[in-house]
Amino acid sequence: MDYLHIKDAFTNATRIVLKVGSDLMVEPDTGRVRRDWLSDFVEDIKYLHSLDKEVVAVMSGAVAMGRYDAGFSVDQRLTVDEKQLAATWGHQHHTMEIYNAFCEHDVRVASGLLIEPSHIVNDNRDRNNFRRNINHVLSRLGVPVVNENDAVANEELKFGNNDVLCAHVASIIDADLMVILSDVDGLYDRDPKQNVDAHHVPYINKLDNDVFSMASSETNASSTGGMSSKLEAVRIAWDHSCNAIIANGNSEGGITALANGQARASLFCLSKM
């Protein structure tokens, strides 16, 4: 089956922000990076580059990768202080795994931790500096990788998540398309994990109470955002004329299949494409 509306969204975009959640980056039972998945992800970015797309990645995983070394179990819900401790263990490992994966595929990568995202969002000087730095990396065919510094960012760990961070990054750098990779292939009218007869919603051109009522805010021990946070991210992106896609990061063919209209996802677009 072809999903031409998804293909059109990629075709019409020049600057794309990709959000990768912890569940995609990290094996839940071991806390170790999913290297095969990460390798495929970098190959997908190379494919987007071949289409003359600029790509920025927002990648979670430091807390999930550090929780085991910090002595926490797989299902344990962590407090803010405990997340900071886990991130202290996980950040270096997280950064090096990403760097190595990109280098193995000859893709230039630049890592930028947002210690205080609220400053980047609200302070014009910091916002402009961030935008300028991202533009410099993109102009050199590099891939900026952005993440909160969970080891010190109390407020962001407590109230924020990388879905919303991704939307703010997309708005700051004037992205055309935001792609949130998750463990589901988009929005359903009911939670598909609990309702076998839930219906997939392929195209959304408005965000109202009916749409938000479809969302589940359920998360697991490694994640901070459910579908509700993803819809909030879409709302922020829409405020800056950026379309959005929510897709399954484990689907066959990955982002390359998405870009060619060969994988199911939900497109959030303000006007019919």
Ordered by start, the domain boundaries in the chain are 4-268
**CB contact set of 264 (below 8 Å; sequence gap of 6+):** 1, 3, 185, 186, 200, 202, 247, 248, 251
Is beta strand 143-148 parallel, antiparallel or unpaired with respect to 187-188? unpaired
**CB contact set of 45 (below 8 Å; sequence gap of 6+):** 18, 55, 57, 107, 143, 255
At residue 221, the pLDDT reads 46
Please name the helix (run of DSSP H) or strand (run of DSSP E) that holds residue 84, with its range, or none: helix 80-104
Q: Angle at which helices 162-172 and 227-238 pack, to 10 degrees?
A: 10
Per-residue pLDDT for 152 more than 60? no
Mean pLDDT of 155-180: 82
User: What single-letter amino acid sits at 132?
Assistant: R
pLDDT in tens, 205-238: 999 899 998 886 555 444 455 888 899 999 999 9
- Where would I find the H helices in 105-208? 117-122, 124-139, 154-159, 162-172
The pLDDT-based confidence of 158 (bands split at 50, 70, 90) is very low
- Nearest alpha-carbon partner for 180 in 162, 201, 198: 162
Is beta strand 200-201 parallel, antiparallel or unpaired with respect to 187-188? antiparallel
Q: Please tell me the pTM assigned to this model.
A: 0.89
Please name the helix (run of DSSP H) or strand (run of DSSP E) that holds residue 58, with its range, or none: strand 54-59
Residue 90 three-state SS? helix
pLDDT in tens, 233-255: 999 999 999 999 999 999 999 99
**Residue 222 in contact with residue 244, Cβ under 8 Å?**
no
List % helix, strand, coil for the chain (3-state, nearest 5). Answer: 45, 20, 40
Q: Angle at which helices 35-50 and 80-104 pack, to 10 degrees?
A: 60
What class is the 4-268 domain? alpha beta
Number of DSSP helices (H) and strands (E) in the chain, helices first: 12, 10
The pLDDT-based confidence of 119 (bands split at 50, 70, 90) is low
